[in-house]
Amino acid sequence: MGFSLKLQYYCLVCVMVLLPALCYSKDYFVKSRATYYGSSDGLGTTSGACGFGEYGRNISSGNVAGVYRLYKNGVGCGACYQVRCTTNPQICTKKGVNVVVTDYGQGDNTDFILSHHAYEAMARPGTADRLLAYGVVDVEYQRVPCQYVGHKIQVKVHEYSRKPDYLAIIMLYQAGKSDILSVDIWQQGKWVEMRRSFGAVFDMPNPPLGAISLRFKVQDNAGIKWPKAVIPRNWKAGVAYDTDIQL
């Protein structure tokens, strides 16, 4: 009897240890469709709805995308997804391509409008032209962590800013899988929530005159992160400032 109880206990422990591994070992992909937009160099665009500018054209070697439902009124900007086509296994790779969301867009029942460069990256060597000929392909996708080796989050003072009357900011190199839900600014002894102007751009009129401290509210139990004096007193529009934060 004692041996039987020990055996049952051992089996229970094994199940408890192995079950999480079994539950999370399989990737979870969502089925959808994707198309692409043309550009002279195959990269992204500086005029994307997220407000990233030049960063939105070159980040991730130009493997970027406009999204529809995943845009989430701008909260989805900067998220990374693995996208792989399923239309033709003789053309499509099993790995697909990792893309960064930098824009909003909708095609023919698509969730993704990929840059030309990213769309071709889903194809096996020598088959890119055949994949492009489809125009729209069936895909499956999953959220993946963004990885920027050697970078922590940068806070860029958007070009729209006008010192000292108006401050607009956007976060660059947002690693991990957590979305930035809101941004607060320290003003007159309290945290004041900034407005989400559009895409990933947050703004406020009459910002503090000195060095500026920010905090970010992020999802997925990541809590609230905040650095000290992220933006210097003599900030300038168009300049990106380093932080100590990485999500």
Q: Are residues 164 and 100 in the same domain?
A: no
Question: How many Å apart are CA 196 and CA 187, to the nearest integer?
Answer: 17
Q: Are residues 125 and 65 in the same domain?
A: yes
- Quickly count: other Cβ atoms within 10 Å of residue 240's Cβ: 15
Give Cβ neighbours of residue 173 (< 8 Å, ≥ 6 apart). Answer: 148, 151, 152, 153, 154
Q: Are residues 127 and 159 in the same domain?
A: no
Q: Are residues 236 and 175 in the same domain?
A: yes
117 falls within a domain: yes
Q: Domain ends where: 143, 163, 193? A: 143
Domain count, the chain: 2
Q: Domain ends where: 89, 122, 143? A: 143
Predicted pLDDT at 22 = 38
Q: Are residues 179 and 125 in the same domain?
A: no
Q: Are residues 115 and 134 in the same domain?
A: yes
pTM of structure: 0.85
176 falls within a domain: yes
15 falls within a domain: no
148 falls within a domain: no
**Residue 95, token pair as written in the block:** 């790995």
In order along the chain (247 residues), what is the average pLDDT of each group of 10 residues? 40 36 59 89 86 93 95 96 96 97 92 95 96 96 95 94 96 92 92 96 96 85 64 95 83
Q: Are residues 42 and 117 in the same domain?
A: yes
Write down the H helix ranges in 103-199: 116-121, 128-134
55 falls within a domain: yes
**Contact predicate 219/69, CB 8 Å:** no
Q: Are residues 219 and 173 in the same domain?
A: yes
Task: Give me the domain span that covers residue 233.
Answer: 154-242
Tokens 């790995």 map to which residue? 95
E strand or H helix at 185:
strand 180-187
- CATH number, position 37: 2.40.40.10
Q: Domain ends where: 118, 143, 168? A: 143
- CATH number, position 168: 2.60.40.760
Write down the H helix ranges in the chain: 2-24, 55-58, 116-121, 128-134
Q: Are residues 187 and 227 in the same domain?
A: yes
Question: How many Å apart are CA 247 and CA 177, to the nearest integer?
Answer: 8
Angle at 88 between CA 87 and CA 92, to 5 degrees: 95
Predicted pLDDT at 194 = 96
212 falls within a domain: yes
Q: SS3 of 49, please?
A: coil
| Closest residue by Cα to residue 198 from 239, 158, 244, 143 | 158
Predicted pLDDT at 46 = 87
**C-alpha pair distances (Å), 151 with each of 172, 210, 241, 242:** 9, 26, 12, 9
138 falls within a domain: yes
Q: Are residues 139 and 167 in the same domain?
A: no
β-bridge pairing 97-104 and 64-67: parallel
Q: SS3 of 123, please?
A: strand
Q: Are residues 118 and 185 in the same domain?
A: no
18 falls within a domain: no
Predicted pLDDT at 221 = 54
**Contact predicate 210/140, CB 8 Å:** no
Residue 89: cis peptide before it, omega within 30 degrees of 0: no
**Contact predicate 37/117, CB 8 Å:** no
Q: Are residues 66 and 136 in the same domain?
A: yes
